[in-house]
Chains A and B, each alone.
Chain A
Amino acid sequence: MTAVASPPATRFRSRLRPSDLVRTGTSGIRNRPGRAAFTAVGIAIGIASMVAVLGISASSRADLLAELDRLGTNLLQVQPGQDLFGEAATLPADAPLMIRRIGPVDGAASVAKLQATVRRNDQIPTSARNGLTVHATEPGLIDTLEADMRTGRFLDAASAQLPTVVLGSVAAERLGITNLQLGPRVWIADRWFAVIGVLEPMALHADLDRTAFIGLPVARTELGVKGLPSTVYLRTVPSQVNNVRAVLARTANPADPNEVQVARPSDALEARAQVDQNLQRLLLGLGGVALLVGGLGIANVMIISVLERRTEIGVRRALGATKGHIAVQFVVESTLLALLGGLFGVAIGYAATAGYARRQGWIIDLPMEALVLGVAAALAVGALAGLYPAARAARLDPAEAVRPGG
């Protein structure tokens, strides 16, 4: 009781505790759980797809970035371009040597693509294509590419002089070579070459997976080729990539620097991480549409519910509920419906992300913002969807609603 006497008209003020606000707001849901579940499905689908899109693209990005990290972005490659007349140019034979002399270059190795073919034995005609190439290379290649051996070892100074070969992962598969115990041989340019190693797949150099590597010396002596570099790979000090890049063409081919193409293989991976953003926006948009449809579904069901619950509304008004209390009850109900859908959606979206990422062998990276955003979006849609039905409920004439037969 207040000490100051208040005017009689303001003695009475209807009020609703926050806990009762939730209680009244959930009464419709508690009475019809089945309908509530169906109503929430639309929101759940919308939120699930949005969360999954964000989660899957984040996981894919995280995977690409982790791979980039592992592969490093300090690998450059130099290839011959075209001359002034559009004819294929060549790199000088000493290009690798010159490149290795650049200060911040940690290592460089060349490959020279040969016209030769590689096959399982001498019985298979040269005309039968198997999509494999033969490259002459230097022992330093494996370190420069940071490639791993699946089995055996890579060429070294000694084996590079001999008819020995190291196979890329796809090449080994196609030639049917799984282990080296029986001393397998392959037929290259009318000679037998002993297989001494098989490489693991190389993420940035899928073309080299289909290659048989022989030593540059043996190519020159036995096959009689010049072995001009078709590609020179080099590792730079990570902070110096751009500086090295700037001088690379002139160093590799001082006579015709314009005939040199310099590239960074990791750029392709990075581009993949970028391109995803457009697709992501599109999919997010679709998720948004699903969310909108879900919101309209809730609004629709709420409008029906208001009509069905005319009497309840009238009775509550008669018992002391204000228009505001009625409105809030329906807004809370639709918000909770959407929240229900949102939480389910987040769970489904997370499961979809985890399942997909696991199948792809990615790390699962679901940004916290995606979850918070998902729930927040559901809440917002639910509150918005509830506004119109709530206004209708509040406007209902209580005298009409409680009338016998009304």
Chain B
Amino acid sequence: MSDTVLELKNVSREYPGVPPVRAIDNVTLKVMSGEYTAIVGASGSGKSTLLNLIGTLDRPTEGSVFIDGVNTSQLRDRQVAGLRSARIGFVFQQFHLLEGMTAVDNVATGLIYQGASRRSRQERSTTALHRVGLGHRCDHTPAMMSGGERQRVAIARALVGDPAIVLADEPTGNLDSKTSDDIVALLERLNAEGSTIVVITHDRELAQRIPRRISLSDGQIVDDATTTKEHS
């Protein structure tokens, strides 16, 4: 069975200014559980804005965002935060790991806000690090790691809470092509294992490997193409 994990209904986001910038303009969109989706588009087309709306870091000026069937516009700060903590995983272009913390503690940060015990946090984080192939680097700090390793820690952090959807904004944007390939392969594997993933990318090659591609232009969806399964 295939549930709707994410639904946007006539969502717009206007940044105030003279004149106001309509970064997202009347977007309607559905993402099903287990889907792997790319958002592509020129710089300034509204990709990051869209991802932030999906991730409830930002609120639409019009329309509604549903996560797991919950209308997020009706939630209070504490509930939205709880929703993010339980259902959404973020991966950032610049990794955004917290310096001075070990990989395990970085991965465990989100679980803190679920009220999980320290012991269970450690266990789940270690498991997540093993899943991304960093089981041997648990006690290393980001400063001791390469870019690719840091991004894998960040991916483990996004996965550890077992989210309904993983959102990645240019996850390979700061990596060389070899390392990018590893990360792309990792995301593919995670998707194959059941994770729902939405990735923003500039990288045409990466986008071509992703089954569903949503093209944005001036804040509007101009194309939504799905390739039927044909990868190795």
Identify the A interface with B (CB < 8 A).
8-17, 19-20, 23-24, 27, 30-31, 311-312, 314-325, 397-399, 402-404
Question: A318–B84 Cα gap in the complex (Å)?
Answer: 7
- A15 and B85 CA atoms in complex are apart in Å by 10
Are B113 and A14 neighbours in the complex by a CB distance under 8 Å? yes
Evaluate contact between A13 and B79: CB separation under 8 angstroms: yes
List 5 other contacts, CB 8 Å, given A12-B75, A315-B90, A319-B84: A13-B82, A19-B118, A314-B57, A319-B113, A402-B57
With A15-B113, A324-B78, A325-B113 as contacts: A404 and B170 at CB distance below 8 Å = yes
Pair A12/B85 contact, Cβ less than 8 Å? yes
13 pairs, A vs B, C-beta closer than 8 Å:
A8-B69, A12-B87, A17-B117, A20-B112, A31-B100, A311-B94, A311-B96, A317-B84, A319-B113, A320-B161, A324-B77, A399-B52, A404-B93
Majority secondary structure of chain B interface residues (helix, strand, loop or mixed): mixed
Hey, which chain B residues are within 8 Å of A8, CB to CB? Answer: 68-70
Q: Which residue of chain A has the shortest Cβ distance to B74 in the bound complex?
A: A9
Interface size class on chain B is 35 or more
Interface centre among A314, A317, A320, A403 (most CB of B within 10 A): A320
Q: Nearest residue in B to A15 (C-beta to C-beta)?
A: B115
Identity of the chain A residue whose Cβ is nearest the Cβ of B58 in the assembled complex:
A399
Residues in A whose Cβ lies below 8 Å from that of B94: 311, 404
Which residue in chain A gives the minimum CB-CB distance to B79?
A: A12
Give which listed residue, A12, A19, A404, contacts B82 with CB less than 8 A. A12
Residues of B within 8 A of A325 (CB): 81, 113
Work out how many contacts link A and B, with CB atoms closer than 8 A: 118
Interface assignment of B83: CB less than 8 Å from any CB of chain A? yes
Interface residue ranges, B against A (CB under 8 Å): 48-49, 52, 55, 57-58, 68-71, 74-75, 77-79, 81-88, 90, 92-94, 96, 98-101, 109-110, 112-115, 117-118, 157, 161, 169-170, 173
A24 touches B57 (CB 8 A): no
Collect the chain A residues with CB atoms within 8 Å of residue B68's CB: 8
Q: Which A residues are CB-close (under 8 A) to B69?
A: 8
Given contacts A9-B70, A24-B112, A404-B173, contact A320 B96 (CB under 8 A): no
Closest to B121 in A: A20
Q: Which of A10, A325, A404 has the most CB of B within 10 A?
A: A404
Q: Tell me the interface secondary structure of chain A in the complex.
A: helix
CB atoms of B82 and A402 under 8 A apart: no
Contact A12 B173 (CB under 8 A): no
Most chain B CB atoms below 10 A, which of A14, A311, A314 = A14
Whose C-beta in chain B lies nearest to the C-beta of A12? Answer: B82
Q: Is B92 touching A9 in the complex (CB atoms < 8 A)? A: no
Residue of B nearest to A309 (CB): B98
> Does A320 lie within 8 Å of B82, measured CB to CB?
yes
Give complex CA distance A316, B57 in Å: 11
Contacts of A30 in B (CB 8 A): 100
CB neighbours of B173 from chain A (8 A) = 404
**CB neighbours of A12 from chain B (8 A):** 70, 75, 79, 82-83, 85-87
CB proximity of A138 to chain B, nearest CB, Å? 82
Determine whether the beta carbon of A320 is less than 8 Å from that of B114.
yes
Q: Give the residue of A9, A20, A402 whose beta carbon is less than 8 angstroms from that of B96.
A: A402
Contact A320 B110 (CB under 8 A): yes
